[in-house]
Amino acid sequence: MTEAWRLTATELASLIRSRQCSAEEAAQSALQRLAAVNPAINAVVEHRPDEVLAQARAIDAALARGEDPGPLAGVPVTTKVNVDQRGFATTNGLRAQQDWVAEHDSPVVENLRRAGAVLLGRTNTPAFSYRWFTSNLLHGQTLNPRDARLTPGGSSGGAGASVAAGIGHIAHGTDIAGSVRYPAYACGVHGLRPSLGRIPAYNASSPERGIGPQLMAASGPLARSVADLRLALQVMAAPDARDPWWVPAPLQGPAAPLRAALCLRPEGLATQPEVVAALLDAAERLRSAGWQVDEIDTLPPLREAVRLQMRLWLGEGYAAQVAAAEREGDPGALTALAGYRAVAEGLPPGSLSDTLTRRATLVRLWQLFFERYPVLLLPVSAELPFANDLDLQGEAAYARVWEAQLTQIGLPFMGLPGLTVSTGLVGRTPVGVQLTASRFREDLCLLAGEAIEAGGTPSAPVDPWGP
């Protein structure tokens, strides 16, 4: 049989449920893979092998009793260090939080556990989860298993690197400005940022989030197959009363025409030729699967959404965020906040109310757009994955990074879902595309994503910096 760590989550869960592979064997395979490759990439920053094996044995015991262990049935899954997992510190990449040990699971972790997942380890994030690069003073730097010179993405860089290297079959991540979608893009896997209210969120270990993160941040899965994302979404989206934003929306919406819009250069974005080529290829894959794809030049406001998103995320409580970053002393976090200083300090009184009012208008415009085109195909980033720590190479480099990430920052302001689909490599560098749809229509993103995936080479785990 193929080594268990190489299988997709869907394949492995089926084998465990049918008793062709035990959960303990799968856990041992995952732990061996982690031990073999994690020292090179530092994707998982804390794990406890004895606890992992105990979880797996509990799954096997449930199966032996004839019980249903859940849809994930012993599948090893990683969780990001910015969500509560009981008994582990919710560090968010901060020395200041290394003693914030969670007493209870967050909703998404509890949902994974209830579905039979074996929680394999905790994945790295940049300090405060601020960057599209992953390093911090507590856990160190995470490297991209495909090429150490490239960023693994961020803020869920540990999640992207781990699943790309075969450490776990599904990785949990969070996304407020691309933090699931960009690590998936950079590491050559797939990643889904769901709609606002789809997956419940709450950290009892931490203060209540501000209104910006409440409206725009979302947990989501990264995996090597779109089918695994579909399975993970089903599990992660189970209800939890601790999140007042959670919505009991069906995972499968009404039938929609197979019609997509393709926008190569949203609002004048200077999309690199390699990224344009990936988008055109993805559009052809959709057409081959029976989709109508129309290339368009004009979208509802996206640059304005970026400006307003930053007001809600970094503008609110800016001085307190700077003070916390200065106490931490993390250069990446300080650079990220310095890049927004002029805007944050120039916000007029009443800007929060104005921003929320304008948000309703932008959501309406995007909803009307999706009445005509149920799915939109657009860049994840204007560029191929950046060189590691590009954002620390001066003001011009920082501005270049922010401009390239236009679509990642803007879409969460409207609470929209976004799916990164890896489409292949340019040399050794991953490339992919992004799909978005109306709120709570992750099913349409996944449907189109499966068609794009089927037209290419499946994503497979890689050895760090192998051939």
Element (H, E) at 60: helix 49-64
Task: Give me the helices (H) in 126-257, please.
Answer: 157-164, 181-187, 211-216, 226-236
DSSP characters over 204-216: TTSPPPPHHHHHH
Q: Which residue in 395, 449, 407, 375 sits closest to 192, CA to CA?
A: 449
| CA 257 to the chain's CA centroid | 27
DSSP 101: B
Which position has the token pair 């405060």?
A: 128
Q: Which residues contact 244 (CB under 8 A, 6 or more apart)?
A: none
For 202, the token pair is 């709450």
- In angstroms, the CA 317 to CA 35 distance is 41
- In angstroms, the CA 157 to CA 143 distance is 8
User: Residue 459 catalytic?
Assistant: no
**Which phi and psi angles does 452 have, rounded to 5°?**
-65, -45
The interaxial angle of helices 226-236 and 9-17, nearest 10 deg, is 70
Whether the Cβ atoms of residue 413 and residue 217 lie closer than 8 Å to each other: no
For 166, the token pair is 């075969």
Q: Which residues contact 353 (CB under 8 A, 6 or more apart)?
A: none
Task: Let me know the angle formed at the C-alpha of 378 by 108 and 169, rounded to the nearest 5 degrees.
Answer: 35
- Of 22, 29, 80, 422, which residue is the catalytic one? 80
For 335, the token pair is 């650079």
- In angstroms, the CA 300 to CA 279 distance is 19
- Of 22, 29, 135, 179, which residue is the catalytic one? 179
Query: Bridge partners of 424?
Result: 431
Whether the Cβ atoms of residue 122 and residue 46 lie closer than 8 Å to each other: yes
Q: Which residue in 433, 79, 412 sits closest to 218, CA to CA?
A: 412
Q: Is 80 helix (H, G, I), strand (E, B) or coil?
A: strand
Residue 116 CB neighbour total at 10 angstroms: 25
Which position has the token pair 């950290």?
A: 203
Q: Which residue in 90, 115, 129 sits closest to 218, CA to CA?
A: 129
- Of 22, 106, 135, 155, which residue is the catalytic one? 155
Amino acid (1-letter code) at residue 387: A
Whether the Cβ atoms of residue 72 and residue 110 lie closer than 8 Å to each other: no
User: Residue 179 catalytic?
Assistant: yes
State the catalytic residues. Answer: 80, 155, 179
